[in-house]
Structure 1
Amino acid sequence: MKSPARDIARRLAENAEAVCRHYLSNGRREGHYWMVGDMHNVPGRSLYVRLGGDDGKPRAGKWTDAASGDHGDLLDIIAASCAHANLGETLAEARRFLSLPRPETVPQGPRPRRARPGSREAAVRLWAASKAVAGTPVRTYLADRELRQVGDMPALRFHPHCYYRRSDEDDVSVKAAWPAMIAAVTDLDGALTGVHRTWLDPARPAKAPVAYPRRAMGHLLGAGVRFGLAGEVMVFGEGIETTLSLREIAPALPLVAGLSAAHLAALEFPGPLRRLYVARDRDAAGLAAYGAIAERSMSLGIDVRPLDPRLDDFNSDLVRMGRRDMTAWVRTQMQPLDAMRLLGR
């Protein structure tokens, strides 16, 4: 029997340029290709979609992302653009775009298994349904915390309607969905093991007015949110904003956010690591996390050093002290060659 998905993909390929103009509107045509930043319509030239050509081969509609190596067809583009959760939604949208009639109703097989709440599978699905942070409330929220060197980091995405499970401490009027910053929790191989959600207030650059605006899901032990590739010198921190604050003054320094003091203490050491700075909060949990990391590193030959904020954490330092004073404070705690190479003036 003919595959409906294959037939629709073929029809989309026959209208490849129209599909790209609609779903990848931030790109442009260059010769036989449509060029754009990525599947989420970010401006740029990393992703290219074949529009046709004179070689006679059926390649129209095929795309490749030069940055990630990913590839696929126009159904993938529509799924990413619309943040669909399943193929059925994507096929329905494609039919609407192509002005095709809805298919005749046929007996349905068993529905796809629903991911268990809080599981790694649920985390993977939420990540897939999220999009790049460019032009979203995530950028506004982070900028309000003086975090302006964010760019379009692969570890952060945005979801416009992320489900929030009300707790006993929430008012009954609290909404069940909010905009959210979604952070990828990955292992040493880069595999997604979980996500961290920060729900945002749609009316102002702040966390949502809920009892627990931050929650993680999936497999977290040993994994973290990574900013930059592993190297010989790295920073392990606790929260995302704390870790990104250090990136503001040392953008070339690889960082990993553990998301809590307990998970900070359990972060796995990358193979190239030789000197580790632990950005600990000024509390008992931060001190305990540093002690646990230092003890684990003793037999591995890793030089572990603390980085202490002047206030309660490094984001408070950044907001209240500014970049120059914060840089001077951190410089006194780093090995001189590291400070010279990694810190701004």
Structure 2
Amino acid sequence: MSSASELADRLARDAEAVCRHYLSAGHRAGNYWIVGDTANSKGRSLYVHLSGPRTGRWTDTATSQYGDLLDLVRETCGLVDFRDVADEARRFLNEPQPIPASSRRGDAHTDPPVNRPAGERARRLFRMTEPLGGSLADSYLRQRGILRAALYPALRFHPSCFYRDLVTGRTSALPALIAAVTDPSGAITGVHRTWLDPQGGGKAKVDDPRRALGGLLGNAVRFCFPFHGPVSVIAAGEGLESILSLAHVMPGMPMVSALTANHLAAFRLPDGCRRLYIAADADAAGRHGIEGLSRRAQTLGILPLVLAPELGDFNEDLRRLGPERLIANLRGQLAPEDALVFLLP
């Protein structure tokens, strides 16, 4: 049986044929295949290297996803289990590939785009999860001072979530905290995975224990968020733990985790929003997200207010300074009416 790295190498030997089959809505531009996303939409956000030392590697600049052609097969086909991904790759490799339309003299025909539902793999993965309460993921969050995470439907636990090292190709199955990314209507468009140490030692000892999957742009992981009717006040930030730390001391305020600074800047604000609190992270990327979302809020007539932690982020404040100190810090930054309604006494 071929290993993951061997399958990825075999696919890379004919990278353009792979792209023409799985990303038929795209086109070749020099040494790259250009397309909208892994759902095979038209656009220019995703590019695949077709030659050189990075042949077969791809990046989606809109979602920050990346990988090799085996990852691309997985994403475009909406597969979860590695066995299914490997079977699909072998099926493709064993079939004779047609000559590209651009190489057939006098033939201008191109294959129609393949319609694959965006986010289906993410929704399937979320359906395979278990309740958070009492799980290893719940214990992980409790170690970080977040005690009521099991109350949020967006958070679930997967006891054996597929993981593949993008450099070595080695695969494993690890427990993971799974967070649902949803659109304004509440539909799941993606998931965020945090792989965990099976022995309870925090995040898994892998190179990238956090990865997002699916449609993130404009969407977010939502907590205490009503999907019907206007939302007048909201708090938004990047990381799950930072936002969950705010929710720990402001349990009634609608909050979202956009997961990255770029996605924070692109988050679609809800109808009826009058006041937006942006949870700051003390780094350059965090400032980029704050500035981008603030500008968009102002153009919509929404007042943006930045909430600043005392340390690096709000989870560090919660863990090292304690909830009372965190509440005192927030009380001076919130509008008085919001402090009265949302802050714990």
TM-score w.r.t. structure 2 length? 0.63
Q: Provide the rounded CA distance (Å) in 2 between the counterparts of 1:252 and 1:284.
A: 30
- Which of 193, 199, 216 is the matching residue for 2:189? 193
Report the equivalent of 1:30.
Answer: none
2:124 match: secondary structure: helix
- Report the Cα offset of residue 272 of structure 1: 2.2
Report the equivalent of 1:42.
Answer: none
The alignment status of 1:242 with 2:242, answered yes or no, reads: yes
Question: Contact 1:132–1:152 at 8 Å: present in 2 too?
Answer: no
Residues 179-212 of structure 1: per-residue CA shift (max 9 Å, x gap): 0011000000101100000001110240000000
Residues 7-57 of structure 1: per-residue CA shift (max 9 Å, x gap): xxxxxxxxxxxxxxxxxxxxxxxxxxxxxxxxxxxxxxxxxxxxxxxxxxx
1:164 match: secondary structure: strand
Report the equivalent of 1:304.
Answer: 304
- Which of 224, 228, 250 is the matching residue for 1:228? 224
Q: Provide the rounded CA distance (Å) in 2 between the counterparts of 1:235 and 1:118.
A: 30
Q: Output the aligned Cα RMSD.
A: 2.1
Report the equivalent of 1:316.
Answer: 316
The aligned amino acid for 2:190 is G
The aligned amino acid for 1:327 is I
The aligned amino acid for 2:129 is S
Question: Contact 2:155–2:179 at 8 Å: present in 1 too?
Answer: yes
The 1:210/1:221 distance shift into structure 2, 3 A limit, reads same
Question: Contact 2:252–2:342 at 8 Å: present in 1 too?
Answer: yes
The 1:118/1:313 distance shift into structure 2, 3 A limit, reads farther
- Report the Cα offset of residue 301 of structure 1: 1.4
Residues 234-262 of structure 1: per-residue CA shift (max 9 Å, x gap): 10010100000001110001100000111
- Report the Cα offset of residue 336 of structure 1: 1.3
- Report the Cα offset of residue 175 of structure 1: 5.5
* Sequence identity percentage: 45
- Report the Cα offset of residue 273 of structure 1: 1.1
Question: Contact 1:140–1:205 at 8 Å: present in 2 too?
Answer: no
Report the equivalent of 2:178.
Answer: 182
Q: Which runs of 4+ in 1 moved over 2 A?
A: 116-119
2:181 match: secondary structure: strand
Q: Provide the rounded CA distance (Å) in 2 between the counterparts of 1:304 and 1:132.
A: 34
The aligned amino acid for 1:167 is L
The aligned amino acid for 1:282 is A
Between 227-236 and 188-197, the greater mean CA deviation after superposition: 227-236
1:78-97 equivalences in 2 (<5 Å): none
Question: Contact 1:223–1:268 at 8 Å: present in 2 too?
Answer: yes
Report the equivalent of 1:254.
Answer: 254
Q: Provide the rounded CA distance (Å) in 1 between the counterparts of 2:200 and 2:277.
A: 34
Question: Contact 1:228–1:254 at 8 Å: present in 2 too?
Answer: yes
Q: Provide the rounded CA distance (Å) in 2 between the counterparts of 1:152 and 1:180.
A: 18
The alignment status of 1:211 with 2:207, answered yes or no, reads: yes
The aligned amino acid for 2:264 is L
Question: Contact 2:277–2:307 at 8 Å: present in 1 too?
Answer: yes
Report the number of matched residues.
229
Q: Provide the rounded CA distance (Å) in 2 between the counterparts of 1:278 and 1:152.
A: 23
1:46-57 equivalences in 2 (<5 Å): none
The aligned amino acid for 1:207 is K
The alignment status of 1:284 with 2:284, answered yes or no, reads: yes
1:321-340 equivalences in 2 (<5 Å): 321-340=321-340
Q: Provide the rounded CA distance (Å) in 2 between the counterparts of 1:165 and 1:327.
A: 40
- Report the Cα offset of residue 305 of structure 1: 0.4
Q: Provide the rounded CA distance (Å) in 2 between the counterparts of 1:190 and 1:241.
A: 21
Question: Contact 1:119–1:217 at 8 Å: present in 2 too?
Answer: no
- Report the Cα offset of residue 119 of structure 1: 5.9
The alignment status of 1:133 with 2:132, answered yes or no, reads: yes
Question: Which structure's CA Rg is the greater one?
Answer: 1
1:35-114 equivalences in 2 (<5 Å): none
Report the equivalent of 1:23.
Answer: none
Question: Contact 2:149–2:155 at 8 Å: present in 1 too?
Answer: no
Report the equivalent of 1:294.
Answer: 294
Question: Contact 2:154–2:180 at 8 Å: present in 1 too?
Answer: yes
The aligned amino acid for 1:307 is L
Greater relative contact order, per chain length (Cα 8 Å cut-off, separation 6+)? 2
Q: Provide the rounded CA distance (Å) in 2 between the counterparts of 1:217 and 1:314.
A: 25
- Report the Cα offset of residue 299 of structure 1: 2.5
Report the equivalent of 2:122.
Answer: 123
Report the equivalent of 2:16.
Answer: none
